[in-house]
Amino acid sequence: MVAAALEEKIIKESDRFFCENGNYKVANRVIHEAQRKRYGMLAVRDILKYSSNIGSAKIAQKMGKEKFYDYIQKFGFGEKTGIDLLGESSGLVRPVNKWVPVDTAMIAFGQGISVTAIQLITAVSAIANKGVLMKPYVVRGVADKNNRLVKLYTPTVVRKVVSPNVAKRLTNMLTEVVSAPDGTGKSARIVNVAVAGKTGTSQKFDFKRGVYSSEKVRTSFMGFFPADNPQVAILVMLDEPQRDKWGGVAAAPVFKNIGEQILNCFKTNIRETPVFEENPNKVALVSTQQTLAPQEVVSDDESIMPNFVGLTLREAMKKAQTESIELKISGNGWAVSQYPPAHTPYGEERVCNVVFELNN
């Protein structure tokens, strides 16, 4: 919705909207902010950062329902993406001529519309792809029993949704959602990686009562990184979380953990800097999990497991590659334990499980 308004030059980042101190009457409904927050004047970038329902509603109203509906369709909502999976749903987007007066405002923050997870991740990927919507696919290619390539799937452009300039401007605002100390997505931060993302909390419709439930919700966080050269997009959705009811609290930390595992387990050029925070007031980091031996055991025997304990993640991966060992990694920082232990004979497979931790 913000991307659409930017593209149509209806708003700019610094434009300010009065968010009615948390109560905004539209037709026969009163719109509130999540967690009963009360906002006054907010700039567009702050409407995103604080996830203001009322600010979003006012931007959509300024744009008008016809243009708003047009961009809902352009981003792929209301139609199947064509992904190579059976049973895909098109979601539910009512034709604009059947919208009631409150719909423009409500749809702006996720009510009165039903979308699928694959539609959401495809739409946010369009922002990462400089405004171009792509067709998602799961299988890259199909080979026969002799490993000969039978069919190859290649990236397919669906349509251009917004300009590269607008996509970049929106990405900058989404980065603030995560990087700002008061951003709703701050729990999705990944050390030394710029993340662009957005929280989401949607009330589920209670069909028995005919209203949206205040207890049953879906929380989400979707985003991509690195923000300046996107390579990974992730959507986390939690259905009816029992403890934390908000996307920034429940789903954002899951996004962070998945992102960290991707960076640790796959070879990428996304994060070249070691994962630790320097603090000049702290003493140097040492591992208390291991006992210092008088002398490190060194062996040229290629049939025994090398010692990874004490190495950084990058050092361990380099050593494992040199020794032709498959490394199974857990955590980040410095290696604190491994199995099989160092200096024991290899088993049938040259595999070592190594646990890394940040020692503060």
Reported as type and span, the H/E element at residue 96 is none
Residue 155 domain flag: no
Identify the weakest region by mean pLDDT among 37-41, 80-84, 244-248: 244-248
**Predicted pLDDT at 275:** 52
> Closest Cα partner for 179 from 191, 167, 161, 162?
191
Check which CATH number belongs to the domain holding 278 and give it: 3.30.10.20
Reported as a single tens digit per residue, the pLDDT across 238-273 is 998 888 878 889 999 999 999 999 998 877 788 755
Is 154 inside any structural domain? no
Task: Decide: 224 and 196 in contact? Cβ < 8 Å.
Answer: yes
206 in a structural domain: no
Question: According to the model, what pLDDT value does residue 61 have?
Answer: 97
pTM recorded for the entire structure: 0.74
Three-state SS at 295: coil
Element (H, E) at 140: none
Q: Does residue 282 register a pLDDT over 50? A: no
Which pLDDT does position 359 carry in this prediction? 60
Let me know if residue 222 belongs to a domain: no
User: Could you give the number of structural domains in the chain?
Assistant: 2
**Residue range of the domain that includes 342:** 274-360
pLDDT at 290: 38
The answer as to whether 265 is a domain residue is no
Is there a domain that residue 216 lies in? no
* Sheet containing 326-331, strands listed edge to edge, beginning at the edge strand earlier in sequence: 326-331, 351-357, 334-339
Under 8 Å between Cβ of 128 and 153: no
The percent of residues above 90 in pLDDT, for the chain, comes to: 59
CB contact burial 45-73 (16+ within 10 A = b; e otherwise) = bbbbbbbbbbbbbbbbebbebebbbebbe
Residue 347 lies in a domain: yes
Instruction: Give the integer Cα–Cα distance in Å for 332 and 265.
Output: 10
- Matching residue, tokens 């590659």: 321
Q: Residue 121 maps to which CATH number? A: 3.40.710.10
- For 76-113, letters b (16+ CB in 10 Å) and e give bbbeebeeeeeeeeebebeebeebeebbbbbbbbbbbb
Q: In this structure, is residue 47 part of a structural domain?
A: yes
Q: Which of 82, 114, 131 corresponds to the end of one domain? A: 131
8's tokens: 């149509």
From 105, 131, 157, give the residue that closes a domain: 131
pLDDT band of residue 278 (cuts 50, 70, 90) is: very low
Among the three residues 131, 153, 170, which one is the final residue of a domain in this structure? 131
264 or 38, greater pLDDT? 38
